[in-house]
Structure 1
């Protein structure tokens, strides 16, 4: 059993292909959102998966924080940032835990979130309580990926380029188009925690359809 937690810290060690946050959290460059260069002393937020038995931490994503207001100490407004994983979503609400949710209109970006998607949440703690007030919510990271190949299809789900998960239950696409194996497509992908994948396609446009699928 494991659970996700958001950890704020400082890069304390760095070499060519790996580094440490707070001297205890291991990461590699592939985990950094947007391939942003990382330096020792930089403030970051890491989403880690904690084994509830051994308490070992496995890093999922690292977000660099260039704005001093979002450093290790709370700002003068006591607003903080954290990375949260969507547990499920309804038409009106997005849940980031069993008890914590926020209205759909608070999310910027104009897309329908899905279980596993990673969000950057700005929040503050209510004085004297553990209750939080959520101020803004945005995608942790998104990326346009052009002319990539559909490498797997299984019913209503599939994988693009071996790393981008998609599901027809939450995918913007041209009317009448169903992704086929080996189709070449353009996708917009977001950081997401899916089985064997670290991205999820939120939109897909076919560039070239496989002959076997198109015929």
Structure 2
């Protein structure tokens, strides 16, 4: 499993052929059909698979692959012996996967993977899935409040796939269904409305736990992903990943930051 930590440019995966592949595909699609779904992650028993609190069914895209392993959405690892069906997986393929989270390392690993196509999705004219682009109004632990109208629980697997912990003011694109008679929603997929990478930026201010980059990008140390042992200071040149976020005088929030090493 030493190859797990490296993500080379894609070569074809040698997929595992299984006579039970069609049965599993029907099982996965049965899960999709039972719960309203549209091109996003799905969940069995609302939040978790029964008796498997660290497992979810998700839909994603193969972002890299090798001869005996691959990655879904750059964050879910899978080995080719868990791929079902004779079709060869390639980067860009849409897949359905059972994903487990290691309770200690928090790493995500797929235990079963099968390719997904638009034709596999059930056609439901009265689908209750809704799309929403909204601003986070409040965050309490892992409960995300949207526009003071809805709220949802952000489980660790969805958070890992999202790539960051939402913060007050962040804009999110959400596919959801409403829990009848409640302000709670079931989230099927969530992503930042806008996400950008900036290769070079200067730390222009830091006040207690908050700061700015280039006088125009906001960050808070409490929600910023940093390399182990690194602490930003005013004047540092850094590369950042940022998301659209609404805050007085700012429209972007940095979610990760790493120092730019100057060439000697």
**Alignment TM-score, normalising by the size of structure 1:** 0.54
CA distance in 2, matches of 1:177, 1:133: 37
Instruction: Kindly report which structure 2 residues correspond to 1:153-192, keeping only aligned pairs within 5 A, or say none.
Output: 153-192=206-245
Structure 2 SS opposite 1:187: strand
Counterpart CA distance in 2 for 1:124 and 1:155 is 39
Deviation at 1:196, TM superposition (A): 1.0
Tell whether the 8 Å contact from 2:162 to 2:190 is kept in structure 1 after alignment.
Answer: no
Match of 2:144 among 68, 77, 94: 94
CA-to-partner distance for each residue in 1:136-190, whole Å, 9 max, x for gaps?
2221121111111112222211111222100111101123322211210011101
Contact 1:95–1:101 under 8 Å retained in 2: yes
How many residues matched? 135
- When residues 185 and 110 of structure 1 are mapped into structure 2, their CA distance, relative to the original with a 3 A threshold, is same
Corresponding residue number in structure 2 for 1:150:
203
State whether structure 2 residue 195 is matched by structure 1 residue 195: no
User: CA contact under 8 A between 1:79 and 1:123: conserved in structure 2?
Assistant: yes
Task: Select the structure of larger CA radius of gyration.
Answer: 2
Residue 133 of structure 2 is aligned to residue 80 of structure 1: no
Counterpart Cα distance in 1 of 2:206 and 2:191? 29
SS of residue paired to 1:176: coil
CA displacement 1:104-139 (0-9 Å, x = unmatched): 124541311111111001134578x79665432221
Q: 2:219 & 2:179 partners in 1: Cα distance?
A: 38
Provide the C-alpha distance between the structure 2 equivalents of 1:144 and 1:100, rounded to a whole number of angstroms: 29
Gaps of 5+ in 2: 1-124
1:183·1:208 contact (CA, 8 Å) conserved in 2? Answer: no
RMSD over equivalenced CA pairs, Å: 2.7
Gap runs ≥5 in structure 1: 1-74, 210-215
1:44 matched residue in structure 2: none
